[in-house]
Amino acid sequence: MSWGLPPKWTEVHQFNNGETVDTINQSVLKALRSEGYEILEKGHYMIAARKVLGLNLLGVLMFAKPKIRLTILITKSGKLTINSVYDYESYTSMAFNDMGKQKRFVTQLLKEIINIV
């Protein structure tokens, strides 16, 4: 579980088979689309995306749905870093525990990216 305000999770993977930045970038974009993420910003070395999750009890009290925001960094050496933040779409930013959701979603996304590459 991730604790903090708001909870954060980081996953790192090093591609060793000579994949180019373009190949990894296209794989990440395909995986994000297939997993239902909204792509907010895309560049050659950085991609930002988010996924709005289903309503939960705290979301009902705050009148907001939880979301996962991703910042994906790609280096020339083939290192892929996925940074995620779990929060609510409101001005209060009340998330204090993601109950393992970030790890599950980010790990699933990373497996999808590896399968596509």
Domain-by-domain residue ranges, the chain?
8-116
Q: How confident is the model at residue 2 (pLDDT cuts 50, 70, 90)?
A: very low
Token couple for 26: 């296209």
pLDDT at 1: 46
How far apart are the C-alpha atoms of 102 and 65, rounded to whole Å?
Answer: 15
Do strands 8-14 and 66-74 pair parallel, antiparallel, or not at all (unpaired)? unpaired
pLDDT digits (tens, 9 = 90+) for 68-86: 899 999 999 999 999 998 8
Q: How confident is the model at residue 56 (pLDDT cuts 50, 70, 90)?
A: low
| Domain range 8-116, CATH class | alpha beta
* Angle of CA points 73, 10, 31, to nearest 5°: 55
Write down the pTM of the prediction.
0.84
Angle between helices 101-116 and 21-34 (to 10 degrees): 130
pLDDT digits (tens, 9 = 90+) for 94-114: 666 667 778 898 999 999 999
Say if residue 54's pLDDT is above 50: yes
Mean pLDDT on 4-20: 85
